[in-house]
Structure 1
Amino acid sequence: MLPTRRCPLSQRTTLADVAAAAGVSVSTASLAFSGAGPIAAATRERVLAAAAELDYSGPNPLGRQLRSGRSGIVGVVVGDALRRSFRDPVSVQMLDGLVGTLGEMNLGVLLIPGPTDPSEPPVDPLVLSAAMDVAVLLWASGSADPVLAALRRRGVPTVVVEGIPEPDVATVGIEDRQGIAQVAQHLVDLGHRRIACVALPFDRTRGEGVVDAERLAQVQWQITRRRLDGMYDAGVQPVAVYETPASLVEHGAAAGRALLSGADRPTAVLCQSDLLASGVVLAARELGLAVPGDVSVAGFDGLDLPWLAPDVLTTVAQPLAEKGAEVGRSVARLLEGTYPPPVVMPVELRVGTTTGPAPA
């Protein structure tokens, strides 16, 4: 008969072992590690020396979480498949700012993807069950968003990025409606009247192609809606709106081929992201069209795209990393038990080489 083997976890040195070696109570040893409460410096040094001798790194973090009632985790719902999100510099730069800020607060991040297919449930099981102190929604459709509704039922404090300000959530956004209006007015001032639009996804069905008025009335995602409204604010009634399933170069290229292949092509294409705009530029090159001589192209985000050289996109720049950091600061306020006021960050029109006067 084989001898019974002890689980490696049961062989670990415990806080009680350290307390015994240091000749103090377990509660005193705990204070030495937490840094909280009254404890003499000499006593703390004795406890830490005993811990080092016994190769003890500190109290079990799970036990500490259970005692504090917190997990130390922020759930970040990206709203799309992770493989697509990590191909988008907008998501990556904003997450970098967010994670860096949370790291300074000793908080971890749980990335939660969105559904990859409309037939999948709209709410990932992690949203329903994972331990998290605060949730961050990067793509919320509005008050009826099923993910936001699930978090509300759980009582999880939530930060919504570029969503609708509401009293029971924190919101961080940008002046994207005004920014799109600026770049649309820029095109109008250059003499363009036949302007097409390449839009971000309308909803979780992620359709693709030129849409009609009925489909335009069905836009659910607030980012897409605001950027369409900004175009209308500038008085632009687009000759065509092309819906894309994601903000990726290949979807912009597909839109460009569809919009620029006909004889009655637009003289300018206004895109709701820089990746979509860069795809339109590549499609124009494929079709033998000069940018901006034959067609002007503008985007949104302010990304550095050296591979698009010699073209430099006309774009509306947003503070991506700082936006992520601001989301992190909103998380901190929620952990303190207060709802911060909505934050709206400015954007800036940057004119590049891809826009010029409308062709005669």
Structure 2
Amino acid sequence: MAAAAGVSVSTASLAFSGSGPIADATRARVLEAARTLAYAGPNPLGRQLRRGRSGIVGVIMGDALRRAFRDPVSSQVLDGLAATLGPLGLGVLLVPGPHDASQPAVDPLLESAAMDVAVQMWGGTTDDPVLETLRRRGTPTVLVEGTPQPDVAAVGIDDRGGMAELTRHLLDLGHTRIATVTLPFDRGRSEGPADAERLTHLAWEITRRRLAGVTDAGVTPTTVYETPASLVENGAAAGRALLAAPDRPTAVICQSDLLASGVVLAARELGLRVPQDVSVAGFDGLDLAWLAPDVLTSVAQPLAEKGAAIGTAVSALLEGRMPEPQVLPVALRVGTTTGPAPR
């Protein structure tokens, strides 16, 4: 194509890139020659290789994709991230987490896949084998809702503060018997009430912070019920176990809206009124129209904005800059599922 236009290969490349010192007439001649030859432009892979980049951002989901994409939180954050990366000419490689503890903690894809930056979405811990693999490869990393560390970019939310505010809301309503339904503690994804010994094995930072928010408000939960995933059916199982007991709590705080909606469904099954007999609250601020007429009391987090903040951190790392850690605010949203404690 360059020969057809009577220019050098480098000049033809500049004409397609739209950059560099090249006359308008020369650019027009190159583009006309390309149209005549039906040439679409330089090979993107070749361009990326010349720049020493793959054009790919690896997104490590932290959970099996079949579970992750049933949770609107994941899809909304990814939507915000993709909207930011698209204009930068970057694509996304989704790396799933293990289905259960029997599978390797590190997907083999992480050891070999080309990626310019990695984003670790959930559950990060300081000794996380995924993060250690990325460090060993020298891959710049954005850690989402993990513990900020000097060598990784961090994007999070004030979930601990949000959970404390939510707990105080229930205390103001007169509740003293408050149980909590949590996200997974670790890769083992156990299910059931967690005793004091089990609480010492709480490894995932998101779960730890949200549980700490409850205790920050001065509440020791009557029961800490661990779930294996943030899914409605897991919340329903927890709700049945908690609410069928003779000394049931008057309020249940859940670490996600999907878990909370499951508890609401369990209360309905058991013939309990929400919130007259039991109050239920969640975290995320999702619009769950199918739960009508109930509207969850929840701590709303800015999901799309969080995705965009992750994308901005990715851009900074690509420019060779380490961005400052970002902690986005959350807000209590009172719905119909919390009310005064029953007498």
Question: TM-score, normalised to structure 2's length?
Answer: 0.99
Distance 1:79 1:260 in 2: 30
Shift of 1:140: 3.8
- Which residue of 2 is the match for residue 72 of structure 1? 55
* Structure 1 position 93 matched with structure 2 position 95: no
Matched residues, percent identical? 74
**Superposed counterparts of 1:215-234, under 5 Å:** 215-234=198-217
Residue 74 of structure 1 contacts residue 110 of structure 1 at CA under 8 Å; is this kept in 2?
yes
- Which residue of 2 is the match for residue 11 of structure 1? none
Question: C-alpha offsets along residues 71-117 of structure 1, whole Å, 9 cap, x if unaligned?
Answer: 01000001001111111000010000000000011110000000102
**Superposed counterparts of 1:3-82, under 5 Å:** 18-82=1-65
Letter in 1 for 2:113: A
Letter in 2 for 1:253: A
Letter in 2 for 1:120: Q
Distance 1:144 1:275 in 2: 28
* Structure 1 position 198 matched with structure 2 position 181: yes
- Which residue of 1 is the match for residue 228 of structure 2? 245
- Which residue of 2 is the match for residue 282 of structure 1? 265
Letter in 2 for 1:232: T
**Superposed counterparts of 1:81-230, under 5 Å:** 81-230=64-213
Question: C-alpha offsets along residues 166-218 of structure 1, whole Å, 9 cap, x if unaligned?
Answer: 11100000000000000011111111111110000001111111111111111
Cα RMSD, aligned residues only: 0.7
Residue 314 of structure 1 contacts residue 351 of structure 1 at CA under 8 Å; is this kept in 2?
yes
Residue 124 of structure 2 contacts residue 145 of structure 2 at CA under 8 Å; is this kept in 1?
no
Secondary structure at the aligned position of 2:283 is classed as coil
Question: C-alpha offsets along residues 99-156 of structure 1, whole Å, 9 cap, x if unaligned?
Answer: 0000011110000000102111100111111000000000143221111000000100
Distance 2:45 2:75 in 1: 30
Gaps of 5+ in 1: 1-17
Aligned length: 343
Following TM superposition, where does structure 1 have runs of at least 4 consecutive aligned residues deviating by more than 4 angstroms? none
Residue 140 of structure 1 contacts residue 148 of structure 1 at CA under 8 Å; is this kept in 2?
no
Letter in 2 for 1:201: P
Question: C-alpha offsets along residues 39-97 of structure 1, whole Å, 9 cap, x if unaligned?
Answer: 11111111111111111101111111111000010000010011111110000100000
* Structure 1 position 358 matched with structure 2 position 341: yes
Distance 1:350 1:29 in 2: 57
